[in-house]
Amino acid sequence: MSTDDTTLDGLIPAAILASDTPVAAYGYVRAKAGGEGRMLGEIQAITGLTRKEDGCEQYVWHTTPDQPGAFAFYERWSSGAHLLAHVSQPFMQTHFAAIVGLVEGEPEAHWLHPLS
């Protein structure tokens, strides 16, 4: 996918952000060794705020004791505009900056449209 087809540093496809129907994502992030607790704290700090946002239909994180520091997420938004408003929130910008040094490798996200 070219950078012309994405926004927000290539993380979210432009077609997802332009959607006037629900959009969803699932993905994974792994904390660097020793940063698991701080990553968990960062996730917990945004979860409640995110769930209160207009257009947030679902926002959940999961982990497993089999892989310490591995976190999986699922989120669903009423539209691409709601998702864009979410990632533009000041608390999310703070979150993105805070986790830069905590993440092992690249976060993985897969963007979805619901089947009709």
pLDDT digit string, tens, across residues 23-82: 999 999 999 999 999 999 999 999 999 999 999 999 999 999 999 899 999 999 999 999
Domain total of the chain: 1
d(CA 103, CA 40): 11
Q: Is residue 26 part of a domain?
A: no
Tell me which residue of 59, 47, 52 sits closest to 23, measured CA to CA: 59
CATH at 59: 3.30.70.100
Looking at residue 4, its pLDDT comes to: 45
Q: Which strands sit side by side in the sheet containing 108-112, from one edge to the other?
A: 56-63, 70-77, 23-30, 108-112
Q: Is residue 17 part of a domain?
A: no
Q: Is residue 1 part of a domain?
A: no
Question: Domain range holding 98?
Answer: 31-71+80-108
Q: Is residue 4 part of a domain?
A: no
Q: Is residue 114 part of a domain?
A: no
